[in-house]
Amino acid sequence: MYEIIDGKQLSASVRGEIAAEANRFKQKCGRQIGLAVILVGEDNASQIYVRNKIKACEEVGIKSFAYYLPQSVAQNELEDLVKELADNGEVDGILVQLPLPAHIDAGKILGLIPVEKDVDGFSEQNMGKLAMGEECLAACTPNGVMTMLKSKNIPIKGKKAVVVGRSNIVGRPMALLLLNADATVTVCHSKTADLKKECLSADILVAAVGKAKFITADMVKVDATVIDVGMNRDENGKLCGDVDFENVKDKCSYITPVPGGVGPMTITMLMYNTCIAAFRREKI
């Protein structure tokens, strides 16, 4: 019998802990923890994400600094804003909502965020530290997945983990976090020779490919833990993940739903990273 890992429930619990820590920070430092969020353009999905991030800040007692810039913003204007926030003592974390317009050099913009304020965990320094197994601010979605696994005391050490997808936002940092937790990790992608065979070997299977119901029951080992990072629409326009949930669930020991699984944890871990960044900056 499978068990669902409820991301909404876990997220609420973790946010309660973050709120307590944010209040402790305020009492000790005389100011709120601060998160700056930059949104360029009017992409609807990005607007929703930013709105949810600001709402989460209010919920846990983090002060948000929101900057809404036009699609036509010049590279140097955006750079100047990031530099200004980098020097702002009230800002503990900086988040530039991706994707950025084509005329903006995203790598250069992200590179201007100080490593200690890189709460998205996307900088070369934080990714490098993660690869070296050093203390760092890890990407929020993979970090959320690790929190979900730990919440159910799911064994990771010595287990075979397969990550389907190799993006810098999810796949690569996910693989590194699992590796750092002593799993034996395989990363699969569009050029993998026998994807089904690789997936069937997984004790922990993480799907992050962005294709609706891509992972089917014949790709999942009996009693595997299946983590679905996907967010798609099916043929009826209904929200679904990368995993064919209805047909896969009965083979699993644990599985995450979509919606209500990994999604709620992503923004929660952003709050967590911002909290960690603030405490480190103030050397508490």
Q: Domain containing 92 — which CATH number?
A: 3.40.50.10860
Cite the active site residues. 53, 97, 120
Same-domain pairing of 104 and 152? no
Q: Quick one: 94 and 172 in the same domain?
A: no
Do 256 and 199 share a structural domain?
Answer: yes
- At residue 71, the pLDDT reads 97
For residue 17, tell me if it sits in a domain: no
My answer on whether 186 and 223 are in the same domain is yes
Do 258 and 144 share a structural domain?
Answer: yes
Q: Are residues 159 and 107 in the same domain?
A: no
Domain range for residue 256?
140-263
User: What are phi and psi for residue 164, nearest 5 degrees?
Assistant: -100, 105
Q: What is the mean pLDDT of the chain?
A: 97
In a shared domain, residues 79 and 184: no
Tell me what pLDDT residue 157 has.
98
Its pTM stands at 0.94
Residues 194 and 89 occupy one common structural domain: no
**CA torsion 171→95→112→284, rounded to 10°?**
-100
> What tens digit of pLDDT does each residue of 184-237 get?
999 999 999 999 999 999 999 999 999 999 999 999 999 999 999 999 998 888
Same-domain status, 97 and 155: no
Q: Which of 229, 211, 222, 212 is nearest to 248 (CA)?
A: 222
Buried b (16+ CB within 10 A) or exposed e, 49-68: bbeebbebbebbbbbbbebe
pLDDT exceeds cutoff 90 at 272 = yes
Q: How many domains is the chain partitioned into structurally?
A: 2
- pLDDT for the residue numbered 125: 93
pLDDT class for 45, splitting at 50, 70, 90? confident
pLDDT beyond 90 at 8: yes
| Within a domain: 119 | no
Do 110 and 158 reside in the same domain of the chain? Answer: no
The pLDDT tens digits of the residues spanning 104-161 come to: 999 999 999 999 999 999 999 999 999 999 999 999 999 999 999 999 999 999 999 9
Contact present, 234 and 212 (Cβ < 8 Å): yes
The H or E element spanning position 50 is helix 44-60
Q: Are residues 94 and 155 in the same domain?
A: no
% the chain with pLDDT above 70: 100
pLDDT for 1 equals 87
CA-based end-to-end distance of the chain = 44
Residue 61 structure tokens: 């007692």
48 and 162 both lie in a single domain: no
